[in-house]
A = this chain, B = another copy of it.
């Protein structure tokens, strides 16, 4: 147990020892073990966008075993997926990598400006599958936010009682937000903060842009001279917005893009104090060899050194 991991655990004084144990398991697994940094492979794209959009580019990825292998071989800290995706292979990989059960999911066969995911699995499922945590998506900005916040409040209580860590995917969306507003710095920082307030142990948001969505917020950002021109600055601001940096905040890779773009983004996230990345499509839509190379570079960037 490194001092850094011990320090991070010390921020979670209200959690029971089971939750700390599972957080430690994630932080002590893979190439970034002990650094306090995390790279997680999430594969809920099949559910969220459909199988062809998710897997056709790299057809090996149709197989659930592929993702277990990719996460393990690349040295990720954890692998996150919906219940069916985990069930398909979890027996074959039992004990090889910490698992996060994504307990709610959406599809795009019905779209809405008032998004809310369905609860597709439970804390009991997470326990029987040997998971270290559960993942839950909230959409701040949706008119259904009350229901979502209450769902996560309840399932989080149940999960933590069972010693499971709680990871919140916080994606602002809704009628009153513009498309670019969804990733505006004020909105991302706010969404991350809401997740922290809801008791998330690990917070996942998208990399923020320099756009500021809310007029009231804009006044303050300008008056106080909050620096948001570089991604590193914005990252720092988001992390600071989560209890002054005392919550683990990780960033999604977003849409598929070219390798140099990803690495530049990750470099800035790392400079800004991000605790890591949760990288799905950019990992599993590449050929495996390329994906392993990319993830190695990403991990090295977060580690600040060359890894084996």
Contacts and interface: CB of A to CB of B under 8 A. Distances in A.
A18 B127 contact: yes
A139 to B, nearest CB: 9
A55 B197 CA distance: 14
Interface residues of A, number: 118
Protomer copies:
5
Contacts of A193: 46-47, 50-51
A174 B110 contact: yes
A307 interface: no
Given A21-B130, A118-B149, A189 B51 contact: yes
Contacts of A221: 52, 56
A146 B116 contact: yes
A48 to B, nearest CB: 10
A52 B241 contact: yes
A197 B95 contact: no
Contact of A91 (B14, B47, B88, B226): B14
A110 B173 CA distance: 9
Interface in A54-73: 55-57, 59, 62-66
Contacts of A59: 240
A124 B157 contact: yes
A47 B17 contact: no
Contacts of A186: 50, 52
Contacts of A96: 1, 24
Nearest to A240: B62
Contacts of A130: 16-22, 163
B91 A20 contact: yes
Given A17-B90, A161-B128, A52 B220 contact: yes
Nearest to A185: B52
Nearest to A53: B220
Given A124-B157, A157-B122, A83 B25 contact: no
A110 B145 contact: yes
Contacts of A28: 95
B157 A125 contact: yes
B145 A109 contact: yes
6 contacts: A13-B17, A13-B89, A50-B186, A56-B226, A105-B149, A109-B176
6 closest A-B pairs by beta carbon, nearest first, are A24-B95, A21-B130, A13-B91, A63-B244, A14-B87, A118-B149
Given A59-B240, A162-B162, 15 more contacts: A5-B95, A9-B95, A16-B128, A24-B96, A51-B190, A52-B224, A53-B216, A56-B220, A57-B224, A63-B244, A64-B244, A116-B146, A118-B145, A122-B157, A124-B161
